[in-house]
Amino acid sequence: MVKREHADPAPSLRERKRERTRQALIDAAADLFERQGYDETTVAQIAAAAEIGTRTFFGYFAGKEDILFPDSDARARATIAAIADRDAGEGPVDVLLRSLDTIAERDTDMVSPMAVVRMRLFHTVPAVRGKALQVQLAAQREIAQELHAAFPGELDRVTAAALAGALTGAVSGALDVLMDDEGTGGADADQLRAQVRQATEQALRPWRQRRDER
């Protein structure tokens, strides 16, 4: 059994200031994308709305497309940490669902204004759709590699890739429906996370049954 890591220490004043600036940029971008459109919004406008310089913007994000996905790396790291931190007897599906629970506890982006704008832009702006698919594929590959390394006797490379794809596809597919104005049905953040969790568990159920039948 691998020991779980202790909670992270409280962030320093500098880290808190940096996080406030980062969040101000995300909020400003979401507002501008919503009001005037994605293509019409520039990095300079986002920086000005957040009351920082354009050069400072690039200390936080590589470009306009990247600010749409502010927490994608954190989610992939949380999933990989769950795989590395697995208990004896935990199967691949158990680990992935546990990582989803951990992400849900920490992740505020899933139901943020940026998340709503991002989903709308995904359906209307080809550049955003391309970036979203790139982000998802990169996460799938990284998760698949870690799954194969963690469960070499159970998952070959192809099967690990398929399982990682089932996870990311279930989450993104559920959110695509739930973030739609009609699909949410007025659900709050906790309800949304619970529905994503339920949908993902349902999608991964055949993988768990396959393991139990061995």
For residue range 48-71, list pLDDT tens digits in order: 999 999 999 999 999 999 999 988
Whether 8 maps to a domain, the answer reads: no
pLDDT at 109: 60
CATH of the domain at 34: 1.10.10.60
Structural domain total, the chain: 2
State yes or no: pLDDT of 137 exceeds 90: yes
Question: Does residue 116 share a domain with residue 28?
Answer: no
Question: Does residue 184 share a domain with residue 127?
Answer: yes
Question: Does residue 154 share a domain with residue 134?
Answer: yes
Average pLDDT, the chain: 86
Question: Does residue 157 share a domain with residue 197?
Answer: yes
Whether 3 maps to a domain, the answer reads: no
Question: Does residue 147 share a domain with residue 55?
Answer: no
Q: Please report, for residues 26, 132, 190, 198, the alpha-carbon distance to residue 175 in angstroms, rounded to integers and kept in the order given.
A: 20, 13, 13, 12
Q: What secondary structure does DSSP assign to 107-153, as a single string?
A: --GGGSHHHHHHHHHHHH-HHHHHHHHHHHHHHHHHHHHHHHHH-TT
Question: Does residue 111 share a domain with residue 27?
Answer: no
Whether 140 maps to a domain, the answer reads: yes
For residue range 82-127, list pLDDT tens digits in order: 999 998 888 999 999 999 888 877 766 666 788 889 988 999 999 9
pLDDT at 184: 45
pLDDT confidence band for 8 (50 / 70 / 90): low
Question: Does residue 118 share a domain with residue 38?
Answer: no
Whether 26 maps to a domain, the answer reads: yes
Whether 22 maps to a domain, the answer reads: yes
pLDDT confidence band for 183 (50 / 70 / 90): very low
Whether 56 maps to a domain, the answer reads: yes
pLDDT at 176: 84
How far is the C-alpha of 27 from the C-alpha of 14, rounded, in Å?
20
Question: Does residue 188 share a domain with residue 96?
Answer: yes
CATH of the domain at 146: 1.10.357.10
Question: Does residue 181 share a domain with residue 137?
Answer: yes
Question: Does residue 136 share a domain with residue 40?
Answer: no
Six-digit token string for 11: 């962030």
Position with higher pLDDT, 36 vs 7: 36
Question: Does residue 127 share a domain with residue 193?
Answer: yes
Q: Please report, for residues 30, 107, 183, 188, the alpha-carbon distance to residue 192 in angstroms, rounded to integers and kept in the order given.
A: 20, 12, 10, 6
Give me the mean pLDDT over the 19-25 stretch: 94
Question: Does residue 92 share a domain with residue 43?
Answer: no
Provide the domain limits for residue 142.
69-212
